[in-house]
Structure 1
Amino acid sequence: MDTQLLKLSHAFPLPIKWAPAASKPPLNLPSIPQPKPPFPPPFSRNLTATAARRTFDEAAYEAERLSLDAAARDSMAEQSAIEGDPKAWKWVIRKRIWDLMEARNIAQFPRPVHHRIPNFTGATVAAQKLSELQVFKEAKCVKVNPDTPQKQVRFLTLNGGKKLLTPQPRLRTGFFSVLEYSMLSPDTIKEACTSVGVAKYGKPIGLEEKIKVDLIVVGSVAVDPKTGARLGKGEGFAELEYGMLRYMCSIDDSTPIVTSVHDEQLVDDIPIEKLLVHDVPVDIICTPTRVIFTNTSIPKPQGIYWDKLSPEKLGQIKILRELKRKIERETGEKLPTGPSEKLPPTARRKR
């Protein structure tokens, strides 16, 4: 997944850009927020019905999530095994880190850590260091990934009286959910920090929501402390979520991006010249032993890059398909689609 942006202003060379019709203001300009019409009625009704529902079937939700993961595993091939894959170097680094964490037993449940954002020994300590950052203390709304190693970050966000924005896992069963301490009780706050709890207690929002995000926390497989270059697990969801928040005018270039990782996940061999325009760099790294300010010079993505978004990835995510149709209706122009791809395998959880 990579690029053709609704709007771009940095140094990465790009093919011919798609742009909206001249009679319409350009989309996706964080510095000049544009009012956006609501989604078509069916989409809005679904969100309203979900938000209004007072009961939540945990077993059904978890069964659906596991079923989707199992179906994905059956249909996906190992991306790193594809001959000539230009992203093969990323898989070499990921596998090295995953293997190392398992071999040194610094991995925690769920295991094995392969093909996931790895949970690591000392994750709660790294989370505490993150919560002591000035940017965290000042933030009123924090977007945190739904992975296990950042569970304590989600708890500290809620427990600190902040608004928590969390994406539904793999964006398959929904979009973002918003949670606040006032929505919870002392008995439910810890559960609300899990993927099931987010769906159970959170308020779902759509792309038309007006929300300002002050800080973004992402999970990582590997990160370079000198450049801020980051590798996720290879599915591209952090990049998609970032692009959608740019579309919503909820963030801009100044919004800090923080990751929490084990010290062994720090690397020095991510070639920044091979990074793609959608790759999200990090400004701050928190490990169990230290806090690193990267002062990254890597440009941050400016939106969603449709010409790199494969039909397979688009087929996974309903809200992206909705957004694509919405933009095409508004502009009267067909958005490009990226080349077909073999999606990476999902994680296999040991119970």
Structure 2
Amino acid sequence: MRDGRRPESLEMANPKEDLGSNGGPNPRPVHHRIPNFVGASIAAKNLGELEEFRIASCVKVNPDSPQKQLRLLTLSGGKKLLTPQPRLRTGFFSVLEYGMLSPSTINEACTSVGVAKYGRPIGLDEKITVDLIVIGSVAVDPDDRCSSWQGREKGIGLQGFAELEYGMLRYMGAIDDSTPIVTSVHDCQLVDDIPVEKLLIHDVPVDIICTPTQVIFTNATIPKPKGIYWDKLSPEKLGQIQILRELKNRIERETGQKLPFGLWEKLPPTAQRKRR
């Protein structure tokens, strides 16, 4: 389903029409988050059948609700799961493996609470190779050199969490240009007008898009980021993410040079679940 809307307008669209009945599954509301959607488990199944997923030993999956089934498929398939702490506020990444869990705990381990409970936190010095990256998207354009919209504030160019996570993994040597990037979205999240002129050096392109109805190989031509672009990182976001401050201090010590800051940023509110 291609509706021609600009990605920033997705948050203003009718979620009942776009993401499923009653505005999509929990968590709700869908604003200020990667939205959950009806059919997320089918999109995950399609992703799980990819050769890129089947041969992967370690898969990095974002912590959002629509990718929960992917985290479960990763663990139940005997693969190593790498997942970030939500919004990177309480830590960095955690590693989970099937052998660390029991049949009664594997489902809980796919939640943010379970990751904190059962996962092994890692730091910037961890020696790890990630074979596949799964990210969530607010919108994705399969025809426009496969740009993925992570919900930045009106496209002003400041780095979102997916870009920051990607940049830190590049710094660690855990990934490179050849590491496939996949997103799973609802068909209504496919758009055809993410403006190329607003795509910046830190934007993370996707190689494969999985929806409940199709798998799209994008043949991406947008270069993948090489690391953290400090001149695009706002003081506000740096202030809320300890691991970024640690990395910045480390690089400044190693190089003997001060790293730049990006523009001031008004951070969007953290998504809140409706009280029921």
Same fold (TM over 0.5): yes
Q: Could you list the per-position Cα deviations for residues 77-111 of structure 1 after superposition, in whole angstroms to 9, with x for gaps in the alignment?
A: xxxxxxxxxxxxxx952333552333445121111
Q: Structure 1, unaligned stretches of length 5 or more? A: 1-90
Q: For residues 185 and 161 of structure 1, what CA distance do their matches in structure 2 show?
A: 12
Cα distance, 1:120–1:295 mapped onto 2, change above 3 Å: same
Match of 1:228 among 146, 154, 177: 146
Q: For residues 204 and 313 of structure 1, what CA distance do their matches in structure 2 show?
A: 21
Quick one: which amino acid aligns to residue 328 of structure 1? Answer: E
Show the counterpart of 2:180.
256
Q: Could you list the per-position Cα deviations for residues 48-102 of structure 1 after superposition, in whole angstroms to 9, with x for gaps in the alignment?
A: xxxxxxxxxxxxxxxxxxxxxxxxxxxxxxxxxxxxxxxxxxx952333552333
- Is the Cα–Cα contact under 8 Å of residues 98 and 118 in structure 1 kept in the other structure? no
Match of 1:134 among 47, 51, 55: 51
Q: Could you list the per-position Cα deviations for residues 178-215 of structure 1 after superposition, in whole angstroms to 9, with x for gaps in the alignment?
A: 00000000000000000110111000000000000000
- Is the Cα–Cα contact under 8 Å of residues 286 and 292 in structure 1 kept in the other structure? yes
Q: Structure 2, unaligned stretches of length 5 or more? A: 153-158
Q: Could you list the per-position Cα deviations for residues 125-174 of structure 1 after superposition, in whole angstroms to 9, with x for gaps in the alignment?
A: 00000000000000000000000000000000000000000000000001
Cα distance, 1:154–1:333 mapped onto 2, change above 3 Å: same
Q: For residues 95 and 233 of structure 1, what CA distance do their matches in structure 2 show?
A: 10
Aligned CA RMSD, in angstroms, stands at: 1.4
Task: Kindly indicate whether residue 13 of structure 2 is the aligned counterpart of residue 99 of structure 1.
Answer: yes
Show the counterpart of 1:149.
66
Quick one: which amino acid aligns to residue 206 of structure 1? Answer: G
- Is the Cα–Cα contact under 8 Å of residues 281 and 300 in structure 1 kept in the other structure? yes
Show the counterpart of 2:216.
292
Structure 1 residue 245 displacement after superposition = 0.2
Q: Please list, as runs of the form range in 1=range in 2, the aligned pairs for 1:1-351 lying within 5 A after superposition.
A: 93-96=7-10, 99-104=13-18, 106=20, 107-226=24-143, 227-234=145-152, 236-351=160-275
Quick one: which amino acid aligns to residue 27 of structure 2? Answer: P
Structure 1 residue 343 displacement after superposition = 1.2
Structure 1 residue 346 displacement after superposition = 2.1
Q: Percent identity?
A: 74
Q: For residues 189 and 176 of structure 1, what CA distance do their matches in structure 2 show?
A: 18
Q: For residues 94 and 194 of structure 1, what CA distance do their matches in structure 2 show?
A: 27
Secondary structure class of the residue paired with 2:109: helix
Cα distance, 1:283–1:104 mapped onto 2, change above 3 Å: closer
Q: For residues 72 and 146 of structure 2, what CA distance do their matches in structure 1 show?
A: 25
| Matched residues, number | 261
TM-score of the pair, normalised by structure 1: 0.72
Structure 1 residue 233 displacement after superposition = 2.7
Quick one: which amino acid aligns to residue 48 of structure 2? Answer: S
Structure 1 residue 341 displacement after superposition = 1.3
Q: Could you list the per-position Cα deviations for residues 210-244 of structure 1 after superposition, in whole angstroms to 9, with x for gaps in the alignment?
A: 00000000000100111210001327000000000
Quick one: which amino acid aligns to residue 205 of structure 1? Answer: I
- Is the Cα–Cα contact under 8 Å of residues 177 and 224 in structure 2 kept in the other structure? yes
- Is the Cα–Cα contact under 8 Å of residues 62 and 134 in structure 2 kept in the other structure? yes
Q: For residues 202 and 90 of structure 2, what CA distance do their matches in structure 1 show?
A: 23
